[in-house]
Amino acid sequence: MAGDTGNPRLAMWTYPWDVIDLGLETVSRDLQDRAGVNGINIATAYHAGRFFQPRSPKRKAYFPEDGTIYFQPDPKLWAGQRIQPKVADVVAEQDVLKDLTAARDRGGLSVACWTVCLHNMRLGLLHPEACTRNAFGDPNYYSLCPSHPDVRGYITTLIKNLTTGYRPDIVQLETPGFMGYAHEFHHEKDGVGLAAEDDFLMSLCFCDACIARAGKSGVDVEAARKTVRRLIVEAAERAVPAPRWPDFITRGPDVFREHPEIEALVRWRFEPVTSLVAAIRDAADPRVRIDVIDINDGWRSGSDLAALGKICEGVVFCAYDRQPEALEADTAKVRAQLGDGVKLGVGMRLFHPEMRSADDIAARSLAAMRAGATEIDYYNYGLVPAARLDWVRAASDAVMRHG
């Protein structure tokens, strides 16, 4: 890794349009000299949104294209793939990833490709057969299914293309598994007040690919679907929300012990996700590190961190909305699931009021390092005021003193 001197990797997630708007020289200077970090995590495949741009000289609101990539694909690698990527229009202005890796080779920031895998509304609408489907058969257009062979071919080719064509230091895989129901689409409406378990039940996939793959593993998929449908219908009939399992998120798959057909399906979901990440690792250039980003979903997305830690070189635990004590405890739990040789990054948002001062960021960063983190990833360069980069500098200096 460029610039690797034994110090922990400290990086900021960054969008390519930030680099285009502000200029590579400015971004590099901001990150290295002002924020004191030694890495950049650049978005290379991303979804739609609306982003307030506090420092852009060109705009204050930006709407990126949905489900596009931010690098130039190799047509030879994509020949025969049914699902094809679309290059974002801004890449015609500048191939940011190419410029960043060239700067790295001259002694600049280490480069991670922040890659959204299966959260892709554009591709879901083009290929509804490749989307996850709930127990009622409704497609989740924003969520490609990790069991579907065309999806697996798409994402493995994408990472192979990235790693062989651009040679970043790291690829960070975001959403390589099953996505949830809530907060994954725009203008969502829920007048019932679905509980956490209801949201999860609505996210369980019963597409043809999952039915076939789970069936081969001995899961009674039809029995699971029947029970899931019943539980959701019961939830939809409540006058007032009433969680069945108040400790749902923390209990894990054991919460479904009284519904063994659902528990079997939930435990099976680790297989398509683990095997997909293994296929990605096999397809990637072996010189490029592969990390998985865990956005507080864990088992609910089908992510078995212990198993993934045996395949990948790193895991990024997004420890958002946590005070230092909780962050340290939760990071230690993730660390315990991973092998000693696996890198553990901890992701932190720089948003206010979650972070109110430099001391807030430093306290959380030091808590993460005490719990066994080897790296820190800060979110997000282009979304925060320039003054908050000084807060990151205070945190990065504290981490370097600690390390």
Each residue of 53-96: pLDDT tens digit? 999 999 999 999 999 999 999 999 999 999 999 999 999 999 99
Tokens of 245: 């399992």
Report pTM: 0.97
Q: Which of 56-70, 181-195, 289-303 is most confident? A: 56-70
Residue 88 near residue 70 (C-beta atoms within 8 A): yes
If one compares 313 and 182, the residue with the highest pLDDT of the two is: 313
Mean pLDDT of the 180-203 span: 89
Q: Average pLDDT, stretch 265-271?
A: 98
Determine the Cα–Cα distance for residues 300 and 143; give it in Å rounded to an integer. Answer: 14
Q: What is the pLDDT of residue 6?
A: 78
CA dist 336 and 330 (Å) reads: 10
Average pLDDT over residues 202-225: 98
pLDDT at 248: 94
Is 296's pLDDT higher than 80?
Answer: no
The region that residue 183 occupies, defined by phi over 0 for left and psi between -120 and 50 for alpha, beta otherwise, is left
Planar angle of CA 278, 281, 283, nearest 5 degrees: 110
3-state secondary structure of 161: helix
Decide if 202 contacts 134 (C-beta within 8 A): yes
3-12: per-residue pLDDT in tens? 455 799 999 9
Q: What is the pLDDT of residue 298?
A: 87
Residue (of 127, 124, 272) closest to 184 by Cα position: 124
Q: In the prediction, which pLDDT does 5 show?
A: 57
Q: What is the pLDDT of residues 219-229, one digit of tens each?
A: 999 999 999 99
- Structure confidence by residue, pLDDT tens digits, 85-134: 999 999 999 999 999 999 999 999 999 999 999 999 999 999 999 999 99
**Phi, psi of 113, rounded to the nearest 5 degrees:** -90, 110
Res 93: pLDDT: 96
By mean pLDDT, which of 147-156, 161-170, 292-301, 305-314 is the weakest? Answer: 292-301
Q: Which of 7, 300, 287, 22 is nearest to 160 (CA)?
A: 287
